[in-house]
A and B are shown apart, each in its own frame.
Chain A
Amino acid sequence: MPKKAALSKGFIYLTLTLGSLLMLLPFIWMLGTSLKSSGEVMMMPPVWVPSDWKWENYATAWEMAPFARYTVNSFIVTILSTIGELLTTILAAYAFSRISFYGRDLVFAVLLGTMMVPGEVLLIPNFVTLSNLGWIDRYEALIIPWTASIFSIFLLRQFFLGIPKELSYAAKVDGCNNFRFLWTIMVPLAKPALITIALLKAIGSWNAFLWPLIVTQSKEMRTLPVGLTSFSTEAGTVYELLMAASTMIILPMIVLYLILQKYIIEGVARSGIKG
């Protein structure tokens, strides 16, 4: 029996290792390429380990654009739009799941309906709106339009609906109002869902390219993904530098994910009331 268990365990680990290697291949290629010379980048079959490690690619890439400034901007935009989205999402999800008011489901249905509109269609009208507000080339344009997400509201509403009503009855009996109940009981319970929402938002915001490019004019206001365009021209791309820059750019997101990983798994494995 133990032998059998060990065997199946071994098999599971083998499968997992192979699977993770497959997932990691692009990352390994990125890391390898970021240290190659330009001649090695295009070799067929692909070179996985560079013959001589060109660490200077990182310095060169960093010099190609004002990346220090872009990094500061990316952090400001990502942190503020994530906090903003969490606030609006928590309030809206609570209203849609726990407060009865006239036309609630109608409003919610309309909100969901707007999700059907592709973002590209909205690009120009949104630009015009922001332009009329005088927000072009300012942090407002980079942050405020992204502080609400219908998808996140929907996600959190479902999570709130899953929290037993008995909790709110008990709280009401103890004289706790809606607002306090939301922040002291619902939000802590919904932590895993909120962290999932925050992580999705942070990654989306960190990687956003087209919008920051469209609403900014000056280099001082731009974000990291815009900086990545410095390595491409109409005739080709300098892959080794692009990969060096990409490696630096994804690091913060990887760190964030590693820190938050355990909460996400918790979110799947636990609900409001311990059975």
Chain B
Amino acid sequence: MKKIFLFMLMALLAAVLVACGNDDSDSASAKEESNSNAEGNTTENSEGIKTVIDSPIEIEFWHAMSGGHEEALTKITDDFNASQENITVKLVNQGSYDDLSQKVMAAAKAKNLPVMSQAYEDWITEYLDNDLVTDLTPYVNDPKYGWSEEELNDIVEIFRKSNTWDGKFYSMPFNKSTRIMFYNKDYLEEAEVEVPTTWEELRTASEKLTMEKDGKKVIGLGLENSVTLEFNQWVEQAGGEYLDEETGEFKLNSPEGKEALEFVNGMIQDGIARTAGEDGYMSGPFTRGDVALYIGSSAGIPYVADPAKETGINWSAAVLPAGKEAATPFAGTNVTVFNSATDEEKLAAWEFTKFLINTENTAYWASKTGYLPVRYTALESDEWVAYKEENPVYGVGEQQFDAGFYDPRVVGANELKNAVAKELDKVLLGELSVEEGLEAAQEAADNILGN
């Protein structure tokens, strides 16, 4: 007995010691942080940026692109390095987005952040709160290094908005995707259904397309498992919103939210829509011919295209059907520059950012990866136009630019979406009614937002 007690005491002591160790490193790094921030970062006055890069400099760019995406990024970076006398950009792959996010946090604590990184908008909000990112506005406006009005407005409006906080640019759009509706051409023809463009048509089409085919059951509409995680699409289409970024107010528990959830849940309960379930992504069931329509990310196109060649599915894609309004989420990451970099490094990062998303490169990037070009002029470029002619589905995304919106950019957005999705899933599984689900979602959201 005495031994056990002693043992427990020791375990407690060990835990406390470990915790102390953490505290120490925390406060030490916090001190350093305030020191490094005290040095300031304004290099700019009315004449513009003072720094010049006159000696060789290497900057690191952390990213989470793999496979073919990484190849395309490497090519653009090699071109940039070849074009520069003094700047070398070193690409560092940090695994998945989750790994990248963890690593940036660890590096921020250890005071060895890279010069630039890919980042989602809500990450940048968090970095801003911790004063980790550089305001790019002076660079954008600089007479020598910046963009003209025309060049700036050439960036797609929705992306300009999503990279602006309080009127300042803290990042630039890089790899952007949207959600589109894939459809099985043969099934639609067979059921004599037009491609749906509104909610009503979507419901009718799903009803008609739910059928027996060669002894297997086909369901009309396929939804990704993440449908509840990305529910903002449906709320916005119903004319509401998911979260008010200004006030931090959760807005799903509203008449519009109810309408959206009733619409989606109704189709699932009636058996004319299904989620991917154990298949993970809907691209699998769709290319097997188990569903006729499917709503998913444009980043999934290659995962439909390749297997469809094998299974002989005849398919295409279209813009999302509109509810009360047309609304399409745009997702994907941006490039951001960290505050810990020297003035020269920041300027080098800006030079690379400009190069990465110039008309030619954003068109090249899009045609190699299936992401969207982030400039209007790139939509007209020969390379992109030729690419779209060959692969018409890649042209769908840009038709939705004007209906675009982006995810709420609040700290903890991910946690919030996950908590809400958990409750909405219960509705789709039939465990909760629509009203109960929205109430539960509200409660979960309030918990996280601290309202």
User: A residues engaging B (CB < 8 A)?
Assistant: 37-44, 64, 106, 109-114, 116-117, 121-125, 127-129, 131-132, 136, 210, 213-214, 217-219, 226, 229-236, 238
Q: How far is the CA of A42 from the CA of B291 in the complex (A)?
A: 14
**Chain B's nearest CB lies how many Å from the CB of A255?**
28
* Mask of B287-326 contacts with A, CB within 8 angstroms, 1/0: 1101000001101111100111111000000000000000
Is there a chain A Cβ closer than 8 Å to B84's Cβ?
no
Q: Is the CB of A235 within 8 A of B103?
A: no
Is there a chain A Cβ closer than 8 Å to B198's Cβ?
no
Across the interface, B94 reaches (CB within 8 A) one of A38, A121, A213, A232, namely A213
Given known A127-B110, A235-B299, A236-B300, contact A122–B18 (CB-CB < 8 A): yes
Q: How far is the CA of A136 from the CA of B97 in the complex (A)?
A: 20
Q: Is the CB of B311 within 8 A of A39?
A: yes
Give the dominant DSSP class at A's interface: helix
Q: Can you report 15 residue pairs joining A to B where beta carbons are below 8 Å apart? A: A38-B307, A39-B287, A42-B307, A109-B11, A110-B14, A123-B106, A129-B25, A213-B103, A226-B95, A229-B66, A229-B95, A230-B67, A231-B67, A235-B299, A238-B67
Q: How far is the CA of A229 from the CA of B281 in the complex (A)?
A: 18
Is there a chain A Cβ closer than 8 Å to B21's Cβ?
yes
Q: Is the CB of B310 within 8 A of A214?
A: no
Interface size class of B (residues with CB under 8 A): 35 or more
Q: How far is the CA of A123 from the CA of B10 in the complex (A)?
A: 23
Q: How far is the CA of A40 from the CA of B309 in the complex (A)?
A: 11
Q: Is the CB of B29 within 8 A of A42?
A: no
Q: Is the CB of A128 within 8 A of B311?
A: no
Given known A235-B300, A236-B283, contact A113–B112 (CB-CB < 8 A): no
Is there a chain A Cβ closer than 8 Å to B105's Cβ?
yes
Closest 10 CB pairs of A and B: A39-B310, A113-B14, A113-B11, A131-B110, A109-B10, A235-B299, A42-B284, A236-B303, A235-B300, A127-B106
Across the interface, B299 reaches (CB within 8 A) one of A41, A110, A210, A233, namely A233
Given known A106-B10, A122-B18, contact A128–B110 (CB-CB < 8 A): yes
Given known A64-B67, A233-B69, A235-B299, contact A37–B11 (CB-CB < 8 A): no
Task: For A109, list chain B residues within 8 Å (CB).
Answer: 6-7, 10-11
Given known A128-B110, A229-B95, A235-B303, contact A214–B10 (CB-CB < 8 A): no
Given known A217-B92, A234-B297, A236-B283, contact A116–B14 (CB-CB < 8 A): yes
Task: For A226, list chain B residues within 8 Å (CB).
Answer: 95
Q: How far is the CA of A110 from the CA of B10 in the complex (A)?
A: 5
| Residue picked from B21, B111, B279, B307, most chain A C-beta under 10 Å | B307
Task: For B285, list chain A residues within 8 Å (CB).
Answer: 42
Task: For B96, list chain A residues within 8 Å (CB).
Answer: 229, 232
**Chain B's nearest CB lies how many Å from the CB of A149?**
16
Is there a chain A Cβ closer than 8 Å to B15's Cβ?
yes
Is there a chain A Cβ closer than 8 Å to B251's Cβ?
no
Is there a chain A Cβ closer than 8 Å to B99's Cβ?
yes
Q: Is the CB of B97 within 8 A of A234?
A: yes
Nearest residue in A to B281 (C-beta to C-beta)? A236
